[in-house]
Structure formats: C-alpha cells, structure tokens
Structure 1
Amino acid sequence: MGLVFGWRSAMLLSATFVLLPLSAALASSLRNRLANRTLAALTIVLIGVFTPWLIGFAGFYDRWRWLTFLPVAVPLLVPALLRFYVHALVTDTLPPRWRFMLVPGLAEFAFQVVSFCLPMPLKDRWADIAFSVVTPILSLALIGSFGVHMAASVRQLRRYRAALVNVVGDDARFAARWLSAAIAAFAILWSIWATVLIWDWLDPLGYTGLMWLYLMIASAALFLAIEGWRHANAPFPSLSSLERVPAVPAKGPARDWSRQGADWAKQTRLAGWASDPDIDVATLARLLGTNTAYLSRALNEGLGQNFSTFINGLRCRAVMDRLEASDDRDVLTLALDAGFASKASFNRAFRATTGMTPSQYRTHVAEAKNHGALPEMRRPDASLPSIPET
C-alpha cells in the first residue's frame, strides 16, 4: 500500500516545519534561558502529540503496522511543561517538586515504549485492550492534570502581575497577557480533547472525525511558540525581586504621606523621569534620594496609586500636554517619547486615565479650541494640585 500525502497530512506537516525552527531558536536563546528551553521542550512534545495523525493520514500505519504504539504522542507531559514555562518565565526557576510533576507523562511514555516493543501478534491483541481500558484512564488523567497545573499557573501569573504594578512603570510590558490567552486556549482545548477521546471510546468517531481536533492542537502550539519567541528576550523581572520591598521602619517621626507623595510626584514630573521606559520603583527611589519602602508608601497611602498607575499617569499627562499644544506628530511617537514601550500599553493606560482613546482626545482638544476652551478630562494628577501645569 502506497503513501498518500493529502491535505490533512500537508497541514500538520506545515505546522511541524514552522514549529521545529521555532523550537531551535527558543532553545538557543541567551536570555530567559530556562523558560525558553522549557518552551522549546513543550513545542517538541506538542509536535509529538499530533505526529500520529500526520503520519496516519499519509498511510504509515497501514503500510507499516509495527508503528502501532509509536512512542511520540505524550499529551500528559503538556500540562506540566506549560506550568514549568509559566513558573520559569516569572521566577527563573522550576516549581518545587517539578520531577514529581513529570511522573504521569513519563508513565504514559513508558507505557507506549513497552507496548511498542511487543511482538506483532501480541501487539494487535493488546491494542484492542488498551483502547478499551487504558485510553479512558489516560483521558481522565489528562483532564485532572490540566485542572491542577493550569490553576497553579493562573495563580502564579496573578501573583506576578500584582507585584509588577508596584515596581515597574509599564506593567503591561511584562504582564504576559498572551500567556494567559494560551493557558485558556490549552485548558479548553485539552478538556475538549479528553472529552472527545472518551466519546470516541464509547462511540468511535473514526480517524477523519478527529482531524479538526488535531488541527486545533497544531494551531494552539503555533500561537504559543510564536508568541513565546516574540517575547523570548524580554527582560522579565523575577518575582523574588519584585516582592523584595523593605518594610518602612516602625520608629521615626510620623509623615504626611499625601504631601510627601505630592512632592515626589512634582519632582518626578519636572525632571521627566517617567519618560524612561525602564524606570522602576528602585530607580525612582534612588533618584528621589529615598528608599523603595518610603516611595511605595507615599504612592499607595498618600496618592492612592500603585507605581505603574502613577508612572503611566505622568506619561499620559505628557502626551495630553503635547496634544493640547497642537503637536502634529502621530500619537505613537508621542507615546514613545513619553516613555511607553508599546502602543498597546499606551492605549490601555490612556483610556484608563482619560476615558478616551488618544485619537478621540485629539479630536476633542481641537473642537474645544475652536470654542475657546479645553475639554474637561480626567487627569492623571488630578489629586495632586501642587504639581504645576508648566
């Protein structure tokens, strides 16, 4: 029987040709090495998950029956590796007891290796038993594994983002929102995958009936690998450094944190320190001649803002001032000059500050000037009357 490379095999093979170079690029990345190598391993595992369908549609199993139980598809490794990637990205370490977390996937791999090595007559009989008994067990284990690991990953990302807003000026730059989207996609996808396998066990769907599912797996793998490669060299601050903020000493004279916060806000704005895209709480504290604990308290208690909101508010104020001064440069240029690292983070911060998009604000400014006045807008420093407008 000859091999036939139809559209099904071609689509999965095309995904493989994209994913393999991405894996190599991630594995050779010098920054975020642990996270990127973990993602490279995850990408290879995902290729393995849909490889049986790639070669199956081409007729490999019909021509070479001994390929049954070929040990390449180990979906139980995916939840653990995805969790490892999230943890390594934000902490530069693997989670505690990470070896134990690999046991289900390694057990699945060992089962496939042993089954693959069986003599052909015994393998045929064992395949019928395995499909009836082992496949449902592995499917249920996959659902449970994803539930545990994805919940832990989401908690880790929330903890990381909560720490980011108090330390870095552009938290959206490191919030890894694409990773949340990937986690959600994989959680939904693998729940569907396990459910379909159980359904297929009860009422066989046929080989072609499952093709759509493996195309979805390949698409999710492409999204995760491409986004991971795009952010491979981003200088993600580690969670331990974000949470390493000293406490304010209990002794000493009481301070008016509102006044202190207003004074430091004024210095920050006049000096233009917010225009540094890499500004963080430690850098600003050093520039102000204080420490991170006092600065954080002045912002949180005195101004009612976290560090990211404070810095992005000043940056938005700088853009608003340029728009009100009829600066005709495009808004993205103004945003980059003000210290924003990306258009997405600027748009999000500007809308939160003014209630409008930048283009809407520019239009309102022009209309207001035609009537001899500027529009009433929410301003990032509305609570800081001591900051001069000039």
Structure 2
Amino acid sequence: MLLISDKRVNYASKLLGLQCLFIATTFVLPLIVADDPSNFSWLVGFLVFLPASYGALIYLYCRTAITGSPLKSTDFLHALPLLICYSLNYDILLSPEKALSFVQMPETTLIRHSITKIVFYGQALFYSVLLLRMLSRYQAQAKQTLSSYNPDIFRWLWSLVAFTVSIWTLKVAFYFLNLSSAVNTLADLLLVLMVYFIAIIQWRNPSLFHIKQLTEQLEQQEPPQAQEPSRGLLDLEMRSNILQLVQEQVKKEALYRNSELTLSTLAEKVGVSVHQLSETLNQYGGKNFNQFINEYRVAEVCQRLDQKSEQKLIDLAMDAGFSSKSSFNAIFKKVTGRTPSQYRCQ
C-alpha cells in the first residue's frame, strides 16, 4: 500500500506494489485450504494460478525502473500466461469444490492440466531469459553511451534476477523431482525476502533504479543494418585525428563536468557521427565512452587533492561531473587503485 499510494514513488514502484500484493495474496491460499470449508473457498481457483503472472511483473518492473517509461498497450500481452491458465481451468474458477479438489489432488493426467503446468512453469523460464537479455543490453548501452550513471542500479537488478532464477529453480525441482517440502518452503521464504527487501529500498529511494538518459539514447540508436561492422570503417589516421580532436574538445571546454553528457551530445559537439566516435574510442582508444569521460573526472579530482583542496570529497566529485557518491568511489578506486580518502591522506 505504501508503494502504491505514496506520491514520492515512481511508476515502477507501483508495479512493484502490485507484485507484492499478488504474492501476499497467494500466501493466503494454504490458509484457506487448511480451513476447509471456508467462506473464502471461492478464491482458491484464482489464487492457485496467480504465480503465472510473477515473471511478467518482474520483467515489466525492471524495464520501467530503468527507463522510467510507463506501460504500453502491447504490454498487456504479458498477461497471457495467467489468462491461459484461467481459460484452461475455467471450471475450477467457478466451483470452490473443484478448486479445493484440484489443489489437494497429488497429480492429474488431464491434457489441459498438463498444458497448464507447461505454461505455469514455462513462463518462469521465458521471463528469466528475457530479464537476462534486457539487463545485459541496458547495461552495455549505459556503458557505451552515458558518461555517468549509478552502478548500484544494475547491482540491485542483477540481484533481483538471481533471486528470481533461484526461486523458480527450487520450485521446479520440488515439483518435478519430488524433493522434500523443505525445498518448497525455502523457495517461498526467498520470495518473501526478495520482494519486500527490494520494495523497502524502492520506497525509501524511488529514483535508485532509474537512468534518466537511457530511454533517450535507446530511441536515438540507428537500426542494426545501419551500424558499422565490428572491425570499423575508419583507417588508423582518421581514428587518430578524431581521438585527438575529442580529447582537445573535452579538456578545453571541460565537457566532462556535465554529469548528463552522452555519446551523442559529444559527437554532435565534435562534429562526427555517433558510430565514428564510438568506433574511435573502442578500437583506437581502447575504452568505452563511460571510461573515457570518467578518467578526466578522476584526473580533475586528483589534481584538486594534489593542490591540498579543503573541499569535501563529494563536492569535488560533483564539481568534476560524477552523479553519485557510490559511482565516484567505485570509479576512482578502479582508476587509481586507491579510495578517494586514501588518496587524500597519501
């Protein structure tokens, strides 16, 4: 309810709130079954198939958390696994007695129940693969085109994916390999820990997972057929000239101090195409755009510290173009081999 009603939280948080609600509601199922006969028996048919929506909700949450974009009309296709389960078992939805019998029976041989099982567990595998591909793509895109973003974004989301895959692996192993009920209980505990832990973080820091410039950069990408081959089309002399021009421009105008600097905006300032700049940095300079710009930022902070600056480290970092304390600390140590505090002391 906090995630859904709090005005501070973003669109992704409301999706996460819905996910929490579904999971909490699902855990009511064993209580209803144990209390047979119950006034809530009519809910059993709806609750037993509700986990078929978990994969889609986590996928949509991760996507909207990173890009900040709302759902599209085509996203309702992600409700198909749940709708298929409901459609194949409409009789269970309409009859509390049949629903209770269904959840209490050890196994079934009906074809529609077998199809339900395939859809129910298959969606978990399908969305796990989608999640892995999506996060890998967005992370690579951020590294290639954005000069600054909070690396904690992807640490949290990769942790979420790891939890999701682990939970469904335990569920599938329990169901198909007839393992101890302790395996199923462990999966349920991981599910509760995962969602509510992430939910609390999202509630306290709604912008934690959002990369403001990423959506814009994805929209500006040229279609695959327009991209240059991996070996590049520029000769060594051309790459050298472009790199020298970029270095002069970045240093002279201190462009790195802009925390929202992107590959496309730098390419526009220098007067080359996005692909020419990307190819030059990657294949001639030996680093991606993110690394290239952050080295200038670290160099400026080091210079200020060498001059015995009394400013706070976080103020030096922000002046140099870093967008967060965590990204500054991580990048500074990666470049210099020391933390900012250690560098200042030494």
Both structures adopt the same fold (TM-score exceeding 0.5): yes
The 5 A counterparts of 1:34-183 are 35=12, 38-53=15-30, 55=31, 61=36, 64=39, 66=41, 69=44, 71-73=46-48, 74-89=50-65, 92=69, 101-110=78-87, 114-118=91-95, 120=97, 125-129=101-105, 131-133=106-108, 141-172=119-150, 176-183=154-161
User: What is the Cα deviation at residue 336 of structure 1?
Assistant: 1.8
User: What is the Cα deviation at residue 69 of structure 1?
Assistant: 1.7
Structure 2 residue aligned with 1:224: 198
Paired with 1:119 and 1:354, the residues of 2 have a C-alpha distance of: 66
Determine helix, strand or coil for the equivalent of 1:72: helix
Q: 1:352 to 1:203 in 2, by over 3 A?
A: closer
User: What is the Cα deviation at residue 215 of structure 1?
Assistant: 3.4
The TM-score with structure 1 as length reference comes to 0.69
Asked if the contact 1:274–1:339 (Cα under 8 Å) also holds between the matched residues in 2, the reply is: yes
Asked if the contact 1:79–1:146 (Cα under 8 Å) also holds between the matched residues in 2, the reply is: yes
Asked if the contact 1:179–1:224 (Cα under 8 Å) also holds between the matched residues in 2, the reply is: no
Please say if 1:22 is aligned against 2:3: yes
- Fraction of identical pairs, as percent: 21
CA displacement 1:233-252 (0-9 Å, x = unmatched):
6525226335339868x999
Asked if the contact 1:89–1:236 (Cα under 8 Å) also holds between the matched residues in 2, the reply is: no
In structure 2, what residue type is equivalent to 1:158? S
Structure 1, unmatched stretches of 5+, are 1-19, 367-390
Q: 1:218 to 1:98 in 2, by over 3 A?
A: same
Normalized per residue, which structure has more helix? 2
Q: CA RMSD in A?
A: 4.0
Please say if 1:295 is aligned against 2:277: yes
Asked if the contact 1:61–1:68 (Cα under 8 Å) also holds between the matched residues in 2, the reply is: no
Paired with 1:223 and 1:312, the residues of 2 have a C-alpha distance of: 31
Asked if the contact 2:145–2:290 (Cα under 8 Å) also holds between the matched residues in 1, the reply is: yes
Please say if 1:355 is aligned against 2:337: yes
Structure 1 residue aligned with 2:316: 334
Instruction: Give the length in aligned residue pairs.
Output: 332
Paired with 1:258 and 1:323, the residues of 2 have a C-alpha distance of: 31
CA displacement 1:13-62 (0-9 Å, x = unmatched):
xxxxxxx2213448984xxx4x5554444333223332325x559x7556
In structure 2, what residue type is equivalent to 1:268? V
Asked if the contact 1:169–1:312 (Cα under 8 Å) also holds between the matched residues in 2, the reply is: yes
Paired with 1:252 and 1:298, the residues of 2 have a C-alpha distance of: 8
CA displacement 1:149-195 (0-9 Å, x = unmatched):
11121112212222222211014458533111101111101221333
Paired with 1:331 and 1:104, the residues of 2 have a C-alpha distance of: 50
Structure 2 residue aligned with 1:279: 261
Q: 1:133 to 1:224 in 2, by over 3 A?
A: farther
Please say if 1:193 is aligned against 2:171: yes
Q: 1:192 to 1:123 in 2, by over 3 A?
A: closer
User: What is the Cα deviation at residue 93 of structure 1?
Assistant: 7.6
The TM-score with structure 2 as length reference comes to 0.77
Q: 1:126 to 1:161 in 2, by over 3 A?
A: closer
User: What is the Cα deviation at residue 281 of structure 1?
Assistant: 1.8
